[in-house]
Amino acid sequence: MKRSPTTPLLLCLVAALLTGCSGDDLSDLDAYMEEKRTRPGGIIAPIPTFKAYEAFAYSATALRSPFDRPIEVREIAQLQAIAAIKPDDNRAKEFLEQYTFDSLRMVGTLERDDVQWTLIKDPDGGVHRVKTGNFLGRNHGKIVEMSDTYVSVVEIVSDGTPDGWVERPRTIKLSGL
């Protein structure tokens, strides 16, 4: 193996650097450490007392969500006035009745031949046009009102008793609002 002409020069430079670092004079470090030791010690603050966690009981779960459209009192009176509520089992099911109500989204409106249509998107990505009187959702939901920003639906759901049914108003809002 051949040596480069700069190898001895490099070895001398490294040796000079190492000898410069090998001084035994540590008096400045000793003086600094002595100064730090002679300072009075600080007072350590006591550990703060632990406050026990107080659980918050949210009591408004049974109330209407502030983001839902309020139900008018007239609509509630009409719903309570109907005594014999029962879904029509002889009616042919419409396509959107195979999906849950919460999985359907309103994506727009259109008007054709003076008929107002609302565009509903199903969870599979299909877009369907519906109008007042059409049904959607699994709970016999009938469209009762439409606007540019929402669709109002009245569902017929069981009240928990045998052969007992009640009407429940629901709303699908335009996606993106």
User: Residue 79's pLDDT is what?
Assistant: 56
Helix residue spans in the chain (DSSP H): 7-20, 27-38, 73-81
Can you read off the two tokens belonging to residue 26? Answer: 């540590």
Average pLDDT rounded to a whole number, residues 23-44? 84
Mean pLDDT on 89-99? 93
**What's the confidence (pLDDT) of residue 123?**
94
CB atoms within 10 A of CB 87: 15
Residue 77 clears pLDDT 60, i.e. is over it: no
DSSP state of 63: S
Average pLDDT over residues 67-74: 64
| Number of domains within the chain | 1
Q: What is the pLDDT of residues 101-137, one digit of tens each?
A: 999 999 999 998 889 999 999 999 999 999 999 999 9
Site of tokens 């108003």: 169
Task: Please give the backbone phi and psi of residue 10, each rounded to the nearest 5 degrees, phi first.
Answer: -65, -40
How far apart are the C-alpha atoms of 172 and 174, rounded to whole Å?
Answer: 7
Tell me whether residue 120 is in a domain.
Answer: yes
* CATH value at residue 135: 2.30.30.830
The pLDDT of residue 71 is 61
Q: Is 41 a member of any domain?
A: no
Chain mean pLDDT for the chain: 83
**Residue 70 located in a structural domain:** no
| CB-based contact 119:110 (threshold 8 Å) | yes
